[in-house]
Structure 1
Amino acid sequence: MDLDAASVMLLLSVIFSSSSPRQYEFVPRSVNCTEAQRYCRQNYRDLATVSKRGDLSDLLRITDRSFWIGLLKTLSTEWRWSLGDPTFYTNQNSLYRNWAQNQTNGSMDCAYMNQDGLWRVDNCTAQRFFICYNGTSKGFVPVLQTMSWRSAQSFCRDNHVDLTSVRNQNENQLIQQFMNTSGASSAWVGLFRDAWEWSDKSPSTFRNWASGEPNGPLENATVMVFSGQRRGQWEDWPCDSLFPFVCYEDQFTLIKQNLSWAEAMRYCRQNHVDLVSVTSEQMERRVKTVARNGSTPAVWMGLHHYCAMDMWLWLRGETVCYQNWVAGDGSGPRDCSRERRVGAMQTAGDQRWISLPPTRALNFICSNYED
């Protein structure tokens, strides 16, 4: 079943500034999950991926019907963190593990930490204390109330950020100290394993299953529910069921060609919208995630020094309100008679901004949408 021209005319596209590094677009034609995947890959990037709780609100804003998203069942199972936002992890620290011996060979799928700091597995329906991640100065929050793993996950998402991830030995020791101080002999952490993976092979581990889901051995695709008590939650359905669907396009695209700043600007305007502007801390977090994959020490942004007024501007005319320069760079008067300067973001470390001559050859980031 192909989507014909009439169906394309019905495409409901809602483009908006969001907390997600993706732009979601709703397609109202009801098809099976394979057809939905094919259409998204031909016309956008892929079926919708969801990385964090804020993405759910973005998705619910664009339609009034339940729809396919890109989470599909596979034959393999991997351990994943409940806190699925990729910007929370750096340098592969999402792969940190501190298992006790012989813990991952069985069929149980949820992880907890003992007072000794070692991790063990249990049935996800077992009742345990748990550790939430708060995302503030409080950091880790022990909850001395016993719940199943999924109920603990829902509690942490409703009241904090998520069940805690453990990214390194220091965090492991800190959580262990919290447990010992609070008297918890064991506590759920946010590590689980399942057979579900995103259509675009995204590393996102975010899940928002409704109670009792997934529950069908022949149900191998995911529908996001629009209305009722399960609004925003997910159900597994057979792939041959018929639903509308949501595709996504990347908001920012890293181009791994080494071009001058002017060449990069021209490339972005011909193939996308423009060189990226970074006008808020929230946007910078998303751009940093893209920039980390660059093959040059820095990547061009759409930032340039306007000599006539001795000020920095974005290409689309915005003044630079939010900024994150390397100390001593980007400020103070410049002698424009000597050399013009433009702005780039470092691809490693704390990824601050630096000013460079525009003739330098770097990778660059294009924006795909008008603000």
Structure 2
Amino acid sequence: SVMSVLQSVYYKYYLINTMPMTWADAKNYCREKYDDLAIIRSSDDWIKIKEEGAAKSLTAFAWVGLYNDIESWRWSFNDVPLKNQTLRMWYAGEPKNENGNEACGVLGQLGQWWDYPCTDLRPFICYKSSTDKIIPVASLMTWYGAQAYCRKHYTDLASSTTATQNSQLEQVFLLQGSSWFGLFRDTWKWVDNPLQDATNLKWNTGQPNNFAGNEDCVVIFNGLLVDRPCMNLNFFFCHTNRIEIAPLLIKQNANWIVAQNYCRENYLDLYTVTNETDQQMLLKEMTDKNVMGPVWIGLYNDLDTWYWSYNHLPLKNMSLIKWATGNPDNTSGADMCGVLQDVGKWESYPCYYTGPFICYDANNSAANRFIIYYKPPTDWHTGQTYCRKYHTDMASSLTETDNSIMQQLVKSINYNGAWFGLTKETWKWSDGNEPSYLPWGPNQPDNYYSSENCGGARNGLLTDEQCNKQYYFVCSACEC
């Protein structure tokens, strides 16, 4: 099979230095005019954003899309958000996030809560759910070390969701002093991924420090990060995703594999059409260079991806393979689903054909695990939906015994074949993009000359072609 390679996202940066804004207003502006406030992940990103600042002579702070998620306090046990409960026992002025790095909760005197750096060493309080008991542990650990210890030996760090629970925890303070418990929060995040803490951040010396007490947003200055109050007015960087990727027609003949290798070595990959804009750009590039086609693009039909519907088991990993002679043959370019013949052999057919289908039910024993339906005959996908709703899934044929049981079922209804759980993935893009938008030309794909398993473009529409044909080709080019 042809290997697919996932490209990373390419960002293009834009410094907006005409109107200073608050961080929130800057974010809204970027989302309206571009994609978002600037995200900086790779070393290449750091270089490019610095270049954009230098090109526009930036000498001041400028917002980027990094923020401190101070509203994400929650309990370690069951991940329950603090904002969902009424009990709050913060000491006056807490949580204050002193020096910008306090994200873990400590239970102190009178059962009051404090935020502290998670790397501090403290005793801690575990909870065991089976006995509903709290367990004080006097060993000194970081918050995350304590969490791992509690989860290994008990259930988790202790929560305090009611006044009763909090007064129980208060007794522990008398025993071992202020202790870690289950309260914690997320820290720095990029605006495009609120579920994950940001990593590899290039902070300026002494940053973040939360100097003003409310420095929860981030500017970049001389290529390094500084935390600042979100209501300050600053210039800002926006970004767009992959905006600079364009089709580049190479006027030399090659087969599909050679074309793919050329594009990967010299550009990004063979060209991918993910939407109508990509298609229009492809058509314009072909028209500008006076080429009707076909030209190679990054589409291919991966013939090695037959799998069983139940548990998505790849057929190539199975010991039993019983294709009838000449199968799978993909006669029409659409043979993506499997039929079990009455003679026990397997055939590939277009999934929209209608016929009987065989379900598998994990709750039944022996031969009763397989159930055949034939009134009315249905297409493969309707059969799969029915099997998953009323049984377990479409039937798999993993052993000779199962195969012959299903063969007898097909014979018993006087049909010469029935759908079962064999199916395959369809067309794929070389760069790993999902093939959600495929603007095929008239009557395409048709596998007209058989083995037409590579994708071309003619007048901007997709065609299936034999992979060894010699055509011009289109690369995805990027001035990144």
TM beyond 0.5: no
TM-score (ref. length: structure 1): 0.40
The structure with the largest alpha-carbon Rg is: 2
